[in-house]
Amino acid sequence: MTDSLSAPIESLNYNDQPILTPPKQTTYTFFTGPPSSPYSINTLSDGTLSTTACLPLLTNTTSLPDQNPYNIRHHDAALIACYSPHPLVPALQSHLQAQNEEKEPVHNIPVIGIFEASISVALQLLSSSPTCPSPTPTSSSQPNPRPGQTRKFGIISTGPQWRSILSSAITAAPPPGTSSSGSSGAALGAQFADRVFAGVETVGVDAGDLHPSSPSTTSAPPLPPPATSPPATSAPIPSDPCPATIKQKVQAATARVLARGDVGVIILGCAGMAGMEEWVREEVDSGGQTGVRVVDGVKAGVGVLQGLLRGGY
Protein backbone atom coordinates (compact mmCIF):
# COMPACT_ATOMS: atom_id res chain seq x y z
CA MET A 1 0.00 0.00 0.00
CA THR A 2 2.83 2.40 0.82
CA ASP A 3 4.24 2.02 -2.69
CA SER A 4 0.88 3.07 -4.17
CA LEU A 5 1.19 6.54 -2.58
CA SER A 6 4.20 7.73 -4.56
CA ALA A 7 2.48 8.46 -7.88
CA PRO A 8 -0.48 10.45 -6.44
CA ILE A 9 1.87 12.52 -4.29
CA GLU A 10 4.30 13.24 -7.13
CA SER A 11 1.32 14.19 -9.33
CA LEU A 12 0.88 17.27 -7.15
CA ASN A 13 3.99 18.65 -8.91
CA TYR A 14 5.41 20.54 -5.94
CA ASN A 15 8.85 19.97 -7.44
CA ASP A 16 7.88 21.57 -10.75
CA GLN A 17 7.25 25.19 -9.79
CA PRO A 18 9.94 27.41 -11.38
CA ILE A 19 8.18 30.59 -10.21
CA LEU A 20 9.61 30.02 -6.74
CA THR A 21 12.95 31.71 -6.10
CA PRO A 22 14.90 29.82 -5.03
CA PRO A 23 13.06 26.67 -6.12
CA LYS A 24 11.86 24.67 -3.13
CA GLN A 25 12.31 21.00 -3.87
CA THR A 26 10.83 18.20 -1.78
CA THR A 27 12.22 14.75 -1.14
CA TYR A 28 9.66 12.23 0.10
CA THR A 29 10.61 9.31 2.32
CA PHE A 30 8.02 6.54 2.41
CA PHE A 31 7.95 4.55 5.65
CA THR A 32 6.07 1.30 6.26
CA GLY A 33 5.76 -0.18 9.70
CA PRO A 34 8.14 -3.04 10.62
CA PRO A 35 7.00 -6.69 10.64
CA SER A 36 5.96 -6.31 14.29
CA SER A 37 3.25 -3.80 13.33
CA PRO A 38 -0.20 -4.85 12.07
CA TYR A 39 -0.41 -5.58 8.36
CA SER A 40 -3.52 -3.40 8.16
CA ILE A 41 -4.98 -0.85 10.59
CA ASN A 42 -8.53 -2.13 11.06
CA THR A 43 -9.25 -1.08 14.65
CA LEU A 44 -8.17 1.49 17.20
CA SER A 45 -6.16 -1.26 18.90
CA ASP A 46 -4.25 -1.80 15.66
CA GLY A 47 -3.37 1.89 15.72
CA THR A 48 -1.95 1.52 19.21
CA LEU A 49 0.06 -1.54 18.20
CA SER A 50 1.46 0.19 15.13
CA THR A 51 2.45 3.21 17.22
CA THR A 52 4.34 0.96 19.62
CA ALA A 53 6.17 -0.65 16.69
CA CYS A 54 6.87 2.51 14.68
CA LEU A 55 7.66 5.19 17.26
CA PRO A 56 11.13 3.83 18.22
CA LEU A 57 12.20 3.77 14.56
CA LEU A 58 10.95 7.29 13.90
CA THR A 59 12.47 8.82 17.03
CA ASN A 60 15.85 7.07 17.24
CA THR A 61 17.92 10.16 18.11
CA THR A 62 21.28 8.36 18.10
CA SER A 63 21.19 7.33 14.44
CA LEU A 64 22.80 9.09 11.53
CA PRO A 65 20.81 9.64 8.30
CA ASP A 66 22.51 6.77 6.50
CA GLN A 67 21.79 4.43 9.42
CA ASN A 68 18.10 5.23 9.83
CA PRO A 69 16.60 7.27 6.97
CA TYR A 70 13.22 7.25 8.72
CA ASN A 71 14.32 9.28 11.76
CA ILE A 72 11.93 12.21 12.01
CA ARG A 73 14.80 14.53 12.94
CA HIS A 74 16.15 14.12 9.41
CA HIS A 75 12.93 15.52 7.92
CA ASP A 76 11.06 18.82 7.86
CA ALA A 77 7.54 17.43 8.26
CA ALA A 78 5.73 14.13 8.82
CA LEU A 79 2.43 12.84 7.46
CA ILE A 80 0.77 9.84 9.12
CA ALA A 81 -1.02 8.15 6.22
CA CYS A 82 -3.62 6.19 8.16
CA TYR A 83 -7.18 7.47 8.01
CA SER A 84 -8.03 7.28 11.69
CA PRO A 85 -7.51 9.14 14.95
CA HIS A 86 -4.09 7.48 14.98
CA PRO A 87 -2.13 7.78 18.24
CA LEU A 88 1.15 8.08 16.32
CA VAL A 89 0.25 11.70 15.49
CA PRO A 90 0.15 12.98 19.09
CA ALA A 91 2.99 10.62 20.05
CA LEU A 92 5.34 12.19 17.52
CA GLN A 93 4.15 15.68 18.39
CA SER A 94 4.80 15.04 22.08
CA HIS A 95 8.25 13.61 21.35
CA LEU A 96 9.28 16.66 19.35
CA GLN A 97 7.89 19.03 21.95
CA ALA A 98 9.76 17.25 24.73
CA GLN A 99 13.01 17.41 22.78
CA ASN A 100 12.60 21.12 22.20
CA GLU A 101 11.92 21.76 25.87
CA GLU A 102 14.28 19.37 27.61
CA LYS A 103 17.01 18.07 25.32
CA GLU A 104 18.36 19.08 21.96
CA PRO A 105 16.35 21.86 20.30
CA VAL A 106 15.21 20.90 16.81
CA HIS A 107 13.65 22.95 14.06
CA ASN A 108 9.87 23.01 13.97
CA ILE A 109 8.64 19.75 12.42
CA PRO A 110 4.89 19.76 11.78
CA VAL A 111 3.18 16.39 12.16
CA ILE A 112 -0.32 15.74 10.87
CA GLY A 113 -2.51 12.79 9.98
CA ILE A 114 -4.45 12.42 6.74
CA PHE A 115 -7.66 12.20 8.79
CA GLU A 116 -7.20 15.63 10.35
CA ALA A 117 -5.87 17.17 7.13
CA SER A 118 -8.81 15.98 5.04
CA ILE A 119 -11.35 17.41 7.47
CA SER A 120 -9.59 20.79 7.42
CA VAL A 121 -9.52 20.84 3.60
CA ALA A 122 -13.15 19.68 3.35
CA LEU A 123 -14.31 22.51 5.62
CA GLN A 124 -12.42 25.05 3.52
CA LEU A 125 -14.06 23.71 0.36
CA LEU A 126 -17.52 23.75 1.96
CA SER A 127 -17.08 27.37 2.99
CA SER A 128 -16.96 28.34 -0.68
CA SER A 129 -19.33 25.72 -2.13
CA PRO A 130 -22.85 26.46 -3.38
CA THR A 131 -25.59 26.22 -0.76
CA CYS A 132 -28.74 24.15 -1.17
CA PRO A 133 -30.90 25.90 -3.77
CA SER A 134 -34.30 24.64 -2.59
CA PRO A 135 -35.91 22.09 -0.28
CA THR A 136 -35.70 18.48 -1.40
CA PRO A 137 -38.32 15.89 -0.40
CA THR A 138 -36.88 13.38 2.05
CA SER A 139 -38.17 10.63 4.28
CA SER A 140 -39.92 11.56 7.49
CA SER A 141 -36.85 10.53 9.48
CA GLN A 142 -34.70 13.16 7.78
CA PRO A 143 -35.33 16.93 8.00
CA ASN A 144 -35.87 18.76 4.75
CA PRO A 145 -32.90 21.07 3.99
CA ARG A 146 -33.64 24.78 4.06
CA PRO A 147 -32.77 27.00 1.10
CA GLY A 148 -29.27 28.36 1.65
CA GLN A 149 -28.34 25.53 4.01
CA THR A 150 -24.63 24.70 3.99
CA ARG A 151 -23.66 21.50 2.23
CA LYS A 152 -21.90 18.71 4.12
CA PHE A 153 -18.91 16.42 3.70
CA GLY A 154 -19.16 12.65 3.69
CA ILE A 155 -16.46 9.99 4.04
CA ILE A 156 -15.91 6.72 2.18
CA SER A 157 -13.92 4.28 4.30
CA THR A 158 -13.01 0.59 4.30
CA GLY A 159 -14.48 -1.85 6.85
CA PRO A 160 -17.86 -1.21 8.54
CA GLN A 161 -16.21 -0.68 11.94
CA TRP A 162 -14.97 2.71 10.72
CA ARG A 163 -18.48 4.16 10.59
CA SER A 164 -18.66 4.48 14.36
CA ILE A 165 -14.93 5.09 14.91
CA LEU A 166 -14.66 8.03 12.51
CA SER A 167 -18.07 9.45 13.39
CA SER A 168 -17.24 9.41 17.10
CA ALA A 169 -13.89 11.11 16.46
CA ILE A 170 -15.54 13.86 14.41
CA THR A 171 -18.44 14.54 16.77
CA ALA A 172 -16.20 14.54 19.85
CA ALA A 173 -15.70 17.82 21.64
CA PRO A 174 -12.63 19.79 20.47
CA PRO A 175 -9.73 19.98 22.92
CA PRO A 176 -9.85 22.93 25.35
CA GLY A 177 -8.59 26.13 23.80
CA THR A 178 -9.41 25.13 20.21
CA SER A 179 -12.33 26.03 18.00
CA SER A 180 -14.80 23.61 16.43
CA SER A 181 -13.54 24.42 12.95
CA GLY A 182 -11.41 21.37 12.24
CA SER A 183 -8.24 23.46 12.00
CA SER A 184 -6.78 21.90 15.14
CA GLY A 185 -7.86 18.33 14.43
CA ALA A 186 -10.82 16.23 13.39
CA ALA A 187 -12.95 16.79 16.52
CA LEU A 188 -15.69 19.26 15.57
CA GLY A 189 -18.15 18.85 18.42
CA ALA A 190 -21.63 17.40 18.02
CA GLN A 191 -23.40 20.69 17.22
CA PHE A 192 -21.00 21.83 14.49
CA ALA A 193 -20.66 18.32 13.08
CA ASP A 194 -24.43 18.12 12.71
CA ARG A 195 -24.24 21.10 10.35
CA VAL A 196 -21.35 19.96 8.16
CA PHE A 197 -20.89 16.18 8.49
CA ALA A 198 -23.05 13.81 6.42
CA GLY A 199 -21.61 10.59 7.81
CA VAL A 200 -19.48 7.61 6.78
CA GLU A 201 -20.13 4.88 4.23
CA THR A 202 -17.84 1.89 3.80
CA VAL A 203 -16.80 -0.41 0.97
CA GLY A 204 -16.72 -3.58 3.07
CA VAL A 205 -13.05 -4.51 2.76
CA ASP A 206 -10.06 -3.81 4.98
CA ALA A 207 -7.36 -1.35 3.96
CA GLY A 208 -4.88 -4.09 3.14
CA ASP A 209 -7.31 -5.57 0.61
CA LEU A 210 -7.58 -2.42 -1.52
CA HIS A 211 -4.15 -3.11 -3.02
CA PRO A 212 -3.44 -6.80 -2.36
CA SER A 213 0.23 -7.33 -3.06
CA SER A 214 3.48 -8.43 -1.53
CA PRO A 215 4.79 -6.44 1.46
CA SER A 216 6.11 -3.00 0.56
CA THR A 217 9.75 -2.70 -0.40
CA THR A 218 9.92 0.39 1.80
CA SER A 219 9.11 -1.53 4.95
CA ALA A 220 11.39 -0.51 7.79
CA PRO A 221 13.31 -3.33 9.48
CA PRO A 222 14.02 -3.18 13.21
CA LEU A 223 17.27 -1.44 14.08
CA PRO A 224 19.52 -3.36 14.18
CA PRO A 225 17.94 -6.31 12.37
CA PRO A 226 17.97 -9.45 14.48
CA ALA A 227 20.51 -11.98 13.21
CA THR A 228 17.89 -14.72 13.23
CA SER A 229 15.04 -12.65 11.83
CA PRO A 230 12.84 -14.87 9.62
CA PRO A 231 12.15 -13.69 6.09
CA ALA A 232 8.90 -11.83 5.56
CA THR A 233 6.18 -13.95 4.02
CA SER A 234 4.79 -12.78 0.70
CA ALA A 235 1.12 -12.65 -0.16
CA PRO A 236 0.09 -13.80 -3.64
CA ILE A 237 0.33 -10.99 -6.17
CA PRO A 238 -2.94 -10.75 -8.12
CA SER A 239 -3.00 -9.94 -11.81
CA ASP A 240 -4.98 -6.76 -11.14
CA PRO A 241 -4.04 -4.83 -7.96
CA CYS A 242 -7.23 -2.74 -8.23
CA PRO A 243 -9.87 -5.23 -9.39
CA ALA A 244 -13.19 -4.13 -10.86
CA THR A 245 -14.94 -5.32 -7.72
CA ILE A 246 -13.11 -2.72 -5.64
CA LYS A 247 -14.20 -0.02 -8.09
CA GLN A 248 -17.79 -1.21 -7.82
CA LYS A 249 -17.64 -1.13 -4.03
CA VAL A 250 -16.15 2.36 -4.00
CA GLN A 251 -18.80 3.65 -6.37
CA ALA A 252 -21.60 1.96 -4.44
CA ALA A 253 -20.38 3.64 -1.24
CA THR A 254 -20.22 6.94 -3.15
CA ALA A 255 -23.86 6.55 -4.16
CA ARG A 256 -24.85 5.94 -0.53
CA VAL A 257 -23.00 9.05 0.62
CA LEU A 258 -24.73 11.13 -2.04
CA ALA A 259 -28.10 9.67 -1.05
CA ARG A 260 -27.68 11.26 2.38
CA GLY A 261 -28.41 14.57 0.66
CA ASP A 262 -26.70 17.95 0.34
CA VAL A 263 -23.18 16.52 0.09
CA GLY A 264 -20.65 19.01 -1.26
CA VAL A 265 -17.44 17.11 -0.48
CA ILE A 266 -16.61 13.40 -0.48
CA ILE A 267 -13.43 12.32 1.29
CA LEU A 268 -11.50 9.18 0.40
CA GLY A 269 -11.09 7.83 3.92
CA CYS A 270 -8.14 5.49 3.48
CA ALA A 271 -4.58 5.94 2.27
CA GLY A 272 -5.14 2.88 0.10
CA MET A 273 -7.79 4.82 -1.83
CA ALA A 274 -5.22 7.31 -3.11
CA GLY A 275 -5.68 7.61 -6.85
CA MET A 276 -9.31 6.45 -6.80
CA GLU A 277 -10.80 9.94 -7.15
CA GLU A 278 -11.88 9.30 -10.73
CA TRP A 279 -14.02 6.37 -9.65
CA VAL A 280 -15.85 8.66 -7.24
CA ARG A 281 -16.22 11.40 -9.83
CA GLU A 282 -17.67 8.91 -12.31
CA GLU A 283 -20.40 8.00 -9.82
CA VAL A 284 -21.05 11.64 -8.96
CA ASP A 285 -21.41 12.50 -12.64
CA SER A 286 -23.61 9.48 -13.40
CA GLY A 287 -26.02 10.61 -10.71
CA GLY A 288 -26.26 14.10 -12.16
CA GLN A 289 -24.74 15.70 -9.07
CA THR A 290 -23.04 19.07 -9.43
CA GLY A 291 -20.56 20.98 -7.32
CA VAL A 292 -19.32 17.92 -5.44
CA ARG A 293 -15.59 17.99 -4.65
CA VAL A 294 -13.47 14.90 -3.98
CA VAL A 295 -10.71 15.04 -1.35
CA ASP A 296 -7.89 12.52 -1.23
CA GLY A 297 -6.68 12.45 2.37
CA VAL A 298 -3.07 11.79 1.38
CA LYS A 299 -2.97 14.69 -1.10
CA ALA A 300 -4.70 16.91 1.45
CA GLY A 301 -2.07 16.08 4.05
CA VAL A 302 0.83 16.74 1.69
CA GLY A 303 -0.78 20.02 0.66
CA VAL A 304 -1.20 21.21 4.25
CA LEU A 305 2.41 20.38 5.11
CA GLN A 306 3.73 21.95 1.90
CA GLY A 307 1.85 25.13 2.73
CA LEU A 308 3.35 25.26 6.22
CA LEU A 309 6.89 24.61 5.03
CA ARG A 310 6.84 26.87 1.97
CA GLY A 311 5.22 29.60 4.05
CA GLY A 312 8.03 29.39 6.59
CA TYR A 313 5.83 28.42 9.52
- 74 DSSP 8-state letter: G
What is d(CA 66, CA 80) in angstroms, rounded to the nearest whole number?
22
Which of 171, 199, 206 is closest to 186 using CA atoms?
171
Kindly report the backbone phi and psi dihedral angles of residue 186, in degrees, each rounded to the nearest multiple of 5, phi listed first.
-90, -15
Q: Decide: helix, strand or coil at residue 296.
A: strand
Contact 185, 174 (CB under 8 A): yes
Contact 109, 96 (CB under 8 A): yes
- pLDDT tens for each residue of the chain, 313 residues long: 676 777 777 777 777 665 455 556 788 889 999 999 998 899 999 999 999 999 999 998 666 666 788 889 889 999 999 999 999 999 999 998 887 776 666 678 999 999 999 999 999 999 876 654 444 444 333 333 444 557 999 999 999 999 999 999 999 988 775 555 444 468 899 999 999 999 999 999 888 778 655 444 444 444 443 333 333 333 333 334 456 789 999 999 999 999 998 999 999 999 989 889 999 999 999 988 888 999 999 999 999 999 998 888 8
Q: Check residue 228 and give its pLDDT.
A: 35
Q: Check residue 234 and give its pLDDT.
A: 32
**Would you call 40 exposed, middle or buried from its count of C-beta atoms within 10 A (0-12, 13-18, 19+)?**
buried
What is d(CA 297, CA 312) in angstroms, rounded to the nearest whole number?
23
Give the distance from CA 60 to its chain's centroid. Answer: 25
Contact 199, 243 (CB under 8 A): no
Residue 64, amino acid: L
Q: Cα-Cα-Cα-Cα dihedral of 173, 124, 155, 42, to 10°?
A: -60
Strand partners, 274: none
State how far the alpha carbon of 287 is from the alpha carbons of 155, 252, 292, 294, in Å.
Answer: 18, 12, 11, 15
* Total-model pTM: 0.80
Q: Decide: helix, strand or coil at residue 264.
A: strand
Q: Check residue 208 and give its pLDDT.
A: 76
